[in-house]
Structure 1
């Protein structure tokens, strides 16, 4: 799986959280709230950053607009987006495991 998705990796922390938040369809404000909740408040994404990311992620085929109600656009992960996120998580787990091996430094 690595080579097919490596051009998208590594994901930034905010991009990874954005994709995680979009496991279910959400609008921008919902994504911002969910990212704060999932990260215990350590990651906050502003509207300008988020909507710029939406545009990039949509053009890369990682997310898709699934609806719009009263100017609120909802987005969701595509299958490609799920696979990229899954590969990012797989790589992150390896990093954490290696970090645990060096705890005594």
Structure 2
């Protein structure tokens, strides 16, 4: 998938997708991602198995992540170049939202 198609499909991004991509900056498997997201969000987001594996399948199919190896029947994924670019674009969009809303406090 090229960048323009990926931007149309993933921007704006759900929190779930954002945190999955964010956590895959280091190689990890589905359950590890679930634990990492829960830790990063202080338990606010708890991903279920169905959500995580459906999301991983979609991200892998669109080439935002890639399976890098398999250990004990667990696929290990890592964010790819396209996924990093999409994550960066989304982080900039979120930062803009935050900056534009600072006067609300």
TM-score normalised by structure 1 residue count:
0.91
How far is 1:13 from its partner? 0.4
Residues 10-29 of structure 1: CA distance to partner in whole angstroms, max 9, x if unpaired?
11001100000000000111
Give unpaired runs (5+ residues) of structure 2. none
- Counterpart of 1:96 in structure 2 is 98
Residues 20-73 of structure 1: CA distance to partner in whole angstroms, max 9, x if unpaired?
000000011110000001111111111111000000000111000011111111
- Counterpart of 1:10 in structure 2 is 12
How far is 1:101 from its partner? 2.5
- Counterpart of 1:54 in structure 2 is 56
Q: After the TM superposition, which parts of structure 1 deviate over 4 Å for at least 4 consecutive aligned residues?
A: none
Give unpaired runs (5+ residues) of structure 1. none
Cα RMSD of the aligned pairs, angstroms, is: 1.2
Task: State how far apart, in whole Å, the 2-side matches of 1:40 and 1:69 are.
Answer: 28
> What SS class does the counterpart of residue 70 from structure 2 fall into?
strand
How far is 1:78 from its partner? 0.3
> What SS class does the counterpart of residue 26 from structure 1 fall into?
coil
TM-score normalised by structure 2 residue count:
0.91
List aligned pairs for 1:30-41, cutoff 5 A.
30-41=32-43
Structure 1 range deviating more: 3-12 or 46-55:
3-12
